[in-house]
Amino acid sequence: MARVVVAGVLVAGSCAIGPTVWGAQQNEDVVVDLWADRDDDDANGIADGEQQELPVLARTDLSPVTASLVGARLRVASGGSGARVVTAAGRPLPWGSELPSGAFWQGLSPGRLEVTATTKQRGDVRIILNVSGFDMRDGEGARVDMATSHASLERTPPMRIEGGVDAPYDDFDALRVVVSVPDAMPADAPDLSVDSVSPLGARLDTIPRLRLVPAACARDSGGLRCWASAPIRLVVDDQDRNHPLVKDRSIKATLGGAIVFRRGGHKAQMIRVLGPRSSPAGPIGLLRASLRSVVLRVTPGGVPAIGGNDASAVSALRSELGAASAIWGQCGVTFGDPSSLEVRVVDPPPPHLVSIGDGLGIRASGGELRLRVDGKTLVVVTRAGETPGAVALEMTRVAERAGFSCQVSSNATIAPGLGPSADVSFRRRDRTLATADRDPNAPLSTDATLTVRIGSVDLSDGLEHFADMDSMAGTLEERTLLKAIDDGAPALIEVVVVPLFEGGGRIGESFIASDRSSLRNIVVLDRAGIRARKSSLTLAHELGHVLMDLPGHPDDYGVDTPTLLMDSDAAEESPFGPRRISLEECARVVRESGPGSPAPLLVAVPIAPVPVHQ
Ligand SMILES: [Zn+2]
């Protein structure tokens, strides 16, 4: 008997176009190759083959029933539950019904089905449905459900996988493909290619031919031949993709996208790429942080800290943000599409900030403070025993009477301090920053114990940065800079790029929530921190302190693991450099900054279907 193979037919939208090559003679077998439809093309969390109603988006893997069978009655001769017929309206059709036009075949489980179609013109036609199975398996051999679970980005440095295709391996993220094919199909390994696509369906990377070797089939799967691949790693850059140890089994991928497997160019099945499948805080899907970024000019109106001009500064920082976002994809965290991230180039602020009790936070003993704001003289009388915070409020009242609007913030008590100091930022009524200076003919303060200082920012000699002792409050120059930029929006992370830090050595720093300072969720890096990206991922590292609300580093207390992003001093431009994030660290991000945390920095992004061509 001749065989007419109908497979991998394009389905465009809800309009199925049947194969026009149909030219069967009477009594030819119709042979249809299908995949058990275990993936979730419509992203509703249910395998497409389990849905009782299939919206258009869930029909990607269906194969149109040839038009010549319209009106026939179908009867299962053997292998009944391995496939079904779905109507043009997306409803399963019971066997025995009359076949309407526009129907589809859908594979459900691997095996061979024989169906008899009783037609009016040609009598009985035998239909063979060869349903292949497609599974993803983890390092312990457990099945990873393509509908209720997902694939994740690699957090293990390249390594050799020992043993055969059934051997366990110690890599949480890499997954093997296991394919089971009915005996009746060709005995060669299936010709599978692998595409990695973005959330919008754009192709990012390809493995043109996935190497498959014979593997044992699961018990009770008679009539099938099985093949397995090496564990496939999903990576974010060429460094990790092209290392000799793993280049045959690595593919670049992005969070929210998908890995699409194809046989003969036609889509077989797909798996979504999200955060870790499981972690101490549960499975992690897709979480988005909102970042707002500024690049400082060295002087007012001068060149930006990076890039040489404004446009290059914006694109340099966006590229940095894109790299940091890709790395945090390991935890299911994205910072959004880098090309649309807001980046502003701004002047250093004027001296708008006055610090009361700066340093140790010693209380007032009585006296007078005198300063000028935009040229207007302000006088504040202090009384013995007043806290810096009380004096700051009094200064605000005086300033408001003079037509200013102030922002008062208290600072964390620094290590040797007696209490918190307080900062007053002077603003005009239109919220622009005012300029404070001292009266040239009078002391700033006659109070013997209360320290009063006007902050100023001079980036040409480097930003004076905090040390261990005042890390929680920041230096006066840092506070003057950052309080000019930070509008206090609690769910935002600010990224600030300065030309350089004073003294050399430091290339990035962060202000985190647990410092209990008014400065929080801020990352500062300098141009050396941007330059060190390939070896140290400075921005991603500093964002880690903020997202985890973690002041320390894993190597401060424990074993030095130079492959961890949060290692304090590792620098290496290779897949063995500091770029990996542990599951425990991902879980900490969810607990400290996730949607359910007390001060969330991350929102859960709904999982959307990925447009994939068949
Ligand atoms: Zn650090």
- Say how many Å lie between the CA of residue 375 and the centre of ligand 1: 42
Q: Are residues 329 and 363 in the same domain?
A: no
Residues 565 and 578 sit within 8 Å (Cβ to Cβ): yes
**CA gap 273, 204 in Å, rounded:** 13
Domain that residue 232 falls in: 138-274
The pLDDT-based confidence of 456 (bands split at 50, 70, 90) is very high
- Say how many Å lie between the CA of residue 53 and the centre of ligand 1: 51
- Say how many Å lie between the CA of residue 601 and the centre of ligand 1: 19
- Say how many Å lie between the CA of residue 523 and the centre of ligand 1: 11
- Say how many Å lie between the CA of residue 509 and the centre of ligand 1: 7
Whether the pLDDT of residue 21 is over 60: the answer is: no
- Say how many Å lie between the CA of residue 510 and the centre of ligand 1: 8
- Say how many Å lie between the CA of residue 303 and the centre of ligand 1: 28
- Say how many Å lie between the CA of residue 577 and the centre of ligand 1: 15
Q: Are residues 577 and 490 in the same domain?
A: yes
The pLDDT-based confidence of 354 (bands split at 50, 70, 90) is very high
Mean pLDDT across the stretch 441-445? Answer: 94
The 3-state DSSP class for residue 545 equals helix
Q: Are residues 183 and 59 in the same domain?
A: no
Q: Which of 274, 298, 329 is the last residue of a domain?
A: 274
- Say how many Å lie between the CA of residue 455 and the centre of ligand 1: 26
Q: Are residues 307 and 163 in the same domain?
A: no
- pLDDT on residue 612: 86
- Span of 9-13, 297-301, 478-482, 602-606 with lowest mean pLDDT: 9-13
Q: Are residues 356 and 345 in the same domain?
A: no
Whether the pLDDT of residue 342 is over 80: the answer is: yes
Q: Are residues 431 and 465 in the same domain?
A: no
Residues 201 and 268 sit within 8 Å (Cβ to Cβ): no
Residues 107 and 83 sit within 8 Å (Cβ to Cβ): yes
**pLDDT by residue (tens digit) across 523-546?**
999 998 888 777 779 999 999 999
3-state secondary structure 421-447: CEEEEEECCCCCECCEEECCCCCCECC
The pLDDT-based confidence of 614 (bands split at 50, 70, 90) is confident
Strands 250-252 vs 233-235: parallel, antiparallel or unpaired? parallel
Quote the pTM value.
Answer: 0.90
**CA gap 192, 211 in Å, rounded:** 8
Whether the pLDDT of residue 6 is over 60: the answer is: no
Q: Are residues 452 and 469 in the same domain?
A: no
Sign of the dihedral through C-alpha 436, 441, 444, 445: negative
Better-scored residue on pLDDT, 605 or 486? 605
Residues 175 and 138 sit within 8 Å (Cβ to Cβ): yes
To which H or E segment does residue 320 belong? helix 310-328
- 166-172's contacts with Cβ under 8 Å and 24+ in sequence apart are 166/141, 166/215, 166/216, 166/228, 168/139, 168/140, 168/141, 169/139, 169/231, 170/139, 171/139, 171/231, 171/233, 172/138, 172/139, 172/276, 172/277, 172/583
- Say how many Å lie between the CA of residue 121 and the centre of ligand 1: 77
- Say how many Å lie between the CA of residue 168 and the centre of ligand 1: 35
**CA gap 174, 570 in Å, rounded:** 25
**pLDDT by residue (tens digit) across 185-232?**
888 899 999 999 999 999 999 999 999 999 988 777 678 999 999 999
- Say how many Å lie between the CA of residue 582 and the centre of ligand 1: 15
- Span of 12-21, 88-97, 210-219 with lowest mean pLDDT: 12-21
> What is the tally of structural domains in the chain?
4
Q: Are residues 7 and 73 in the same domain?
A: yes
What is the DSSP secondary-structure string of 101-154? TT-EEEE-SSEEEEEEEEETTTEEEEEEEEEEEEEEE-TTS-EE-TTTS-EE--
- Say how many Å lie between the CA of residue 233 and the centre of ligand 1: 27
Whether the pLDDT of residue 133 is over 90: the answer is: yes
Better-scored residue on pLDDT, 463 or 359? 463
- pLDDT on residue 473: 81
Q: Are residues 18 and 104 in the same domain?
A: yes
Q: Are residues 252 and 314 in the same domain?
A: no
- pLDDT on residue 312: 95
Q: Are residues 371 and 331 in the same domain?
A: no
- Say how many Å lie between the CA of residue 299 and the centre of ligand 1: 28
Q: What residues form DSSP beta bridges with 408? A: 424
- Say how many Å lie between the CA of residue 498 and the centre of ligand 1: 18
**CA gap 10, 16 in Å, rounded:** 8
Q: Which of 81, 109, 131 is the last residue of a domain?
A: 131
Average pLDDT, the chain: 90
Mean pLDDT across the stretch 338-363? Answer: 92
Whether the pLDDT of residue 517 is over 90: the answer is: no
- Say how many Å lie between the CA of residue 439 and the centre of ligand 1: 41
- Say how many Å lie between the CA of residue 477 and the centre of ligand 1: 21
- pLDDT on residue 107: 97
- pLDDT on residue 141: 92
Rg value, the chain, Cα: 32
Q: Which of 72, 101, 131 is the last residue of a domain?
A: 131
Give the total residue count for the chain.
Answer: 614
Compute how many other C-beta atoms are within 10 angstroms of the C-beta atom of residue 443. 13
- Say how many Å lie between the CA of residue 568 and the centre of ligand 1: 5
Q: Are residues 337 and 361 in the same domain?
A: no
Better-scored residue on pLDDT, 17 or 599? 599
- Say how many Å lie between the CA of residue 474 and the centre of ligand 1: 15
**CA gap 249, 245 in Å, rounded:** 9
- Say how many Å lie between the CA of residue 207 and the centre of ligand 1: 36
| CB-based burial, 45-74: b 16+ in 10 Å, e otherwise | eebbbebeebeebbbbbbbbbbebbeebbb
Residues 544 and 509 sit within 8 Å (Cβ to Cβ): no
- Say how many Å lie between the CA of residue 136 and the centre of ligand 1: 36
Beta strands in 323-404 (DSSP E): 333-334, 343-346, 353-356, 367-373, 376-382
CA distances from 404 to 59, 399, 455 (A): 63, 5, 18
- Say how many Å lie between the CA of residue 552 and the centre of ligand 1: 7
